[in-house]
Amino acid sequence: MFEVFKKELKELLRDKKTLIFIVALPVAIFPLLFAVMAFISSQATLEAEQKVHTYAIINGEYAQSFTDKVFYHKSFQLYKGEHTFNTVAELTQAVKAGTIDMGIFLPADAKQNLDDAKQSQWQVVYNDAKAINFLFDRVKELAEEFGNNLRAEKLLSYGVSVEQQSAIIDPIKVVKVDTADKRENLGEKIGGFIPYLLIPLVLMGATYPAIDLGAGEKERGTLETLLLTPITRTQLVLGKFITLLAASIATTTITVLSMGIWISIAITFIDLDVVKTAFSSLRVLDLTLIFIILLPVAAIFSSLSLAISIYARSFKEAQNYMTPLSMGVIFPIIVALLPNVELTAKTAFIPVTNVALAIKEIIKGTIDYTLLGLIFLATVIVAGALLAFCVKWFNKEAVLFR
C-alpha cells in the first residue's frame, strides 16, 4: 500500500498541471485575484469620488443657503453652458445626454411651504446605475441640513428651546447594549464565507489528482498493469486514497497558510483594528480544530472523486463527472450560509453543511464541543462508508473495464 502511495506521490509531484492546481493556485492566484479585484474596485470608486461633477439647479433662490453650499462643495461644479433648464424633464434629458452629471429641482420656496404647513419635495436627477450614486447622498445631506435649520427656526419661533426640540422630535432613543464581543460579531458576518472558500479547495485538492489516478491510469493503460501485481484491491485503493487525502490536505494547509500570510501583510498596510482584534483572538487551538474537522471532509472527497474517476473511461469523461460533484458540494455550503440556519443536533448530521456550520461557530468562538465531536464522528462514518464503497467499486469488472 505504501509503495503505491510513494509512487503516486512521486508521479504527482512531477505533474506540473496538478501542481499548479494544488500549490500554485492557492498560493499565488487567489490572493492575486483578490488584490486585483480590490485594486480595480478601489480605483474606480476613488476616481468617481475625486472627479468634480457638473450640476444644474432650478429655482435655487428658494433655498439660497442650500444652493450656496452645493455651489461651494468641492465635488460639484455649476453648469455654465448654453442650455437652460426649467423642468425635471429637461434635467433628465441633460443627464442622459451627458451635458450634466446631476440636476436639482426645487419646486417652491421651502420656507413658505413650511409656513403654510406643507412639505417640500425636492428632486435630484442623476444616473443611479453609474459609480456616482454617492452624489445623491451628498445632496441629501446638504438638503437635510437645510431642512433641520428651517425646522429649528420654526420651532424656536413657537418658543420651543433647542434642548426641548430634540426631546420633542425624538422622544424615545433606543440604545443597543451588545453582548457579543468583536470576534463573535465579525465571526457571524464573515464566518460563513470561510468554509465557502475552504471546503471547495479541499475538494479541488482531491479531484484534480483523482482524475489522473483513476481515469488517467485507465487511459494510459497503467491500471491494467497495476492490476497484474500481487496486491489486493483494498491495498490499491488505500494507496491511491492516501495520496488524494495528502493532496487535499496539502491544498487546504497551503491555502490557509497563504491566506493567513496575506491577511497579516494586508493588516500592516491597512491597519484595520476590527480585523486585527478578530483574527488575533483566533487561537492556535481554533485553527487546529478547523484543520481536524476538515480531515474527514477531505476523506469523503477523496473517496468520492476516486470512485468517480475510476468509473470514467477517459480523463475527459472524468472531468465531466466532477462538475456535478462540485455543485453537489457547493449546495450544502450555501445552506449553511442561509439566515437562521444554526448548528443544532439536527444540522450536525447533514454532511458538509454540518462542517461549514462548525467552522463558522469555531471562528465566532461559540462552538459547542459536544456537537463538534458529533460532527466529527458523523463525518468519519460517512468517509469510512464511502471508502468501503470505493474498495467495492474497484472490485467490479464492469467499472474497471467499461
Partner 1 sequence: MIEVTELKKKFKLTKDHKKNKVDKIDPREDKDYFHSVRNVSFHCNKGEVLGLLGPNGAGKTTTLRMLSTALKPDEGQIIIAGEDIIKKPLFGRKSIGFLSGSTGLYGRLTVKENIEYFAKLHGMNKAAIKTRCDELFDLLDMHSFIDKRAENLSTGMKQKANIARAVVHHPAVVVLDEPTTGLDIMTTQTVIEFIKGLKAQGTPVIFSTHHLDEVALLCDRVAVINEGISCFDGTVEEFKQAGNSEELNQAFMNILTEKRDV
Residues that bind partner 1 (CB under 8 A): 3-4, 7, 10-11, 14-15, 220-222, 224-232, 397-398, 400-401
> What is the number of residues in the chain?
402
Q: Please answer whether residues 85 and 37 qualify as being in contact, where contact means their C-beta atoms are separated by less than 8 angstroms.
A: no
- Which residue type is seen at 11? E
Kindly tell me which of 240 and 364 has the beta carbon lying closer to partner 1.
240
Kindly tell me which of 140 and 402 has the beta carbon lying closer to partner 1.
402
Helices within 213-314 (DSSP H only)? 217-220, 222-227, 233-270, 273-280, 284-311
Q: Which three cell numbers stand for residue 295?
A: 480531515
Kindly tell me which of 331 and 401 has the beta carbon lying closer to partner 1.
401
Least spacing, CB of residue 197 vs partner 1, in Å = 31
Rounded Cα gap, residues 396 and 400, in angstroms:
6
Kindly tell me which of 27 and 226 has the beta carbon lying closer to partner 1.
226
Least spacing, CB of residue 322 vs partner 1, in Å = 21
Q: Which three cell numbers stand for residue 372?
A: 463538534
Contacts of 394 (CB under 8 A, 6+ apart): 233, 236, 237, 310, 400
Q: Please answer whether residues 1 and 231 qualify as being in contact, where contact means their C-beta atoms are separated by less than 8 angstroms.
A: yes
In degrees rounded to 5, what are phi and psi of residue 276? -60, -50
Kindly tell me which of 6 and 130 has the beta carbon lying closer to partner 1.
6
Gap between the terminal Cα atoms of the chain: 25
Kindly tell me which of 187 and 216 has the beta carbon lying closer to partner 1.
216
Kindly tell me which of 171 and 230 has the beta carbon lying closer to partner 1.
230
Rounded Cα gap, residues 330 and 332, in angstroms:
6
Cell 451627458 locates to 98
Rounded Cα gap, residues 190 and 285, in angstroms:
19
